[in-house]
Amino acid sequence: MESYAPFLAALVALLIGLAAGKAWERYKIQEGRWIDRRRARESPHFILGLNSLVANQLDRAIEELAQAARLQPDALEIEMILGNLYRDKGQVGRAITIHQTLLQRPKLTRLEHAYILLCLGLDYKRGGFVDRALEAFNKVLRLEPQNPYALVNLQKLHEEQHQWKDAHDVRLRLVAISDAADQPRNRQILAFIENELGRDRLKQLDYKAAAARFHAAVELDARTVPAYLNLGDVRFSEGNLAGAAEAWERAVEVSPERAYLAFDRLESLYRAQHQLGRFQKLCQRLILANPKDWRAHLALARHVMAEGRTPDALELLFEALSHSPHALTIHQAIWHALLASGLEPALVNRYTELTRQSVFYLDPHVCQRCHYRSTELLWQCPHCHEWDTFVEDRIAPAQDAAVPDEADTPTLRA
């Protein structure tokens, strides 16, 4: 059920394609056969089946379509849909049997052949038969080199196997057949795949090739944050500290909301260069641009703490907490600072007041596409396999709750 949208899209495309094919066949045969076909299509079971499908009632749809198929045993499209429905219900073996049987039919048109193979590929993929799925999608592409469903599924399979080079090649074929409007997304996906290719080179300690890949990634899409981080890591390993700082600072610049990913790296680098003031300035810039950036508050607070300015650090931490009450690291930093302040009662009271109505939860990162949740930021969703879809869910104290005197607490309104 979770992959319904692409399935329905494929189904609609399939029906349109088949209708066109059948219209042609209808005139060609000029005999009673197409009338039978129409009878099956116009039977209440077919219509009811499609209606149930649209209403997401899978069992009902299967029941009706099976009846329609019995009325017209050679109505290929109904059998094909039935197979897909069984797959969706998790009955992969049954789906495979239906689609394999359809493949045995004589006089299949090229389009029919391609779509049955596509269905079979999806069955194999669902069943975890990776090699057979790859083979099926490749066969589809031999019949229809530009079939976008086969290409997308092939790319995903290669990605799941970490065959980044193959995934890259398949995506290039999709790029060639996509509209101009889809190209930014295409470039983004290609950039992430380039980044993975670079990571592969990095594991082999081939710094030069790795850097070239990371460069290619940010050339394709300037917002590919992990590529900047990795590029900086390569330069750092090569002893090019200025180059490393430049790459990591660029990550902060292109994606301030992900700046924290570069914090540890930049902090230790600046420290090594005796330029810790640069780190504080960076945090201040981020806070100025986005006052709700709790990670920049936290990072700055740690610095301020290290300088012995505990009250300033606590102000920053309380501010951070009001924007992100669930972040355990803030609480830990606050306790550290409270202890350093000798547990001053006024400060402890402010803290307990701030946390009183906070909601705590563990997995704040959520995939915008499929709503998969994760405790950490992921660049590729393990559930729907899309790239760069995670955002951080924020839970702030309820707005209508009694707000304590704002003069002595940072605002509770997020």
Q: In the complex, what is the shortest distance from the CB of residue 186 to Zn ion, in angstroms, rounded to a whole number?
A: 18
In whole angstroms, what is the distance from residue 270 CA to residue 225 CA?
A: 20
Give the CB-side neighbour count of residue 322, counting CA atoms within 13 A: 19
Residue 327 DSSP code: -
Q: In the complex, what is the shortest distance from the CB of residue 9 to Zn ion, in angstroms, rounded to a whole number?
A: 17
C-beta closer to Zn ion: residue 330 or 381: 381
In whole angstroms, what is the distance from residue 60 CA to residue 66 CA?
A: 10
Q: In the complex, what is the shortest distance from the CB of residue 4 to Zn ion, in angstroms, rounded to a whole number?
A: 14
In whole angstroms, what is the distance from residue 154 CA to residue 176 CA?
A: 16
- Among positions 269-328, residues that touch Zn ion (CB under 5 A) are none
C-beta closer to Zn ion: residue 184 or 382: 382
Q: In the complex, what is the shortest distance from the CB of residue 192 to Zn ion, in angstroms, rounded to a whole number?
A: 14
C-beta closer to Zn ion: residue 197 or 367: 367
C-beta closer to Zn ion: residue 136 or 367: 367
What six digits make up the tokens of 298? 């936290």
C-beta closer to Zn ion: residue 309 or 369: 369
Q: In the complex, what is the shortest distance from the CB of residue 366 to Zn ion, in angstroms, rounded to a whole number?
A: 9
- Among positions 362-391, residues that touch Zn ion (CB under 5 A) are 367, 369-370, 372, 381, 383-384
Count the helices and strands in the chain (H runs, E runs): 20, 3
- As a whole number of Å, the CA-based R_g of the chain is 29
In this structure, how many other beta carbons lie within 10 angstroms of the beta carbon of residue 229?
19
In whole angstroms, what is the distance from residue 186 CA to residue 181 CA?
A: 10
What six digits make up the tokens of 219? 């050339």
Q: In the complex, what is the shortest distance from the CB of residue 383 to Zn ion, in angstroms, rounded to a whole number?
A: 5
Query: Are 374 and 365 in contact, with CB atoms under 8 Å apart?
Result: yes
C-beta closer to Zn ion: residue 173 or 383: 383
Q: In the complex, what is the shortest distance from the CB of residue 368 to Zn ion, in angstroms, rounded to a whole number?
A: 8
C-beta closer to Zn ion: residue 370 or 414: 370
In whole angstroms, what is the distance from residue 20 CA to residue 400 CA?
A: 58
Q: 263-272 vs 294-306: helix axis angle to the nearest 10?
A: 30
Listed ranges 211-219, 345-353, 361-369, 396-404: which one lies at the site for Zn ion (CB under 5 A): 361-369
Nearest Cα to Cα of residue 255 among 341, 377, 115, 99: 377
Interface with Zn ion by CB under 5 A: which residues? 367, 369-370, 372, 381, 383-384
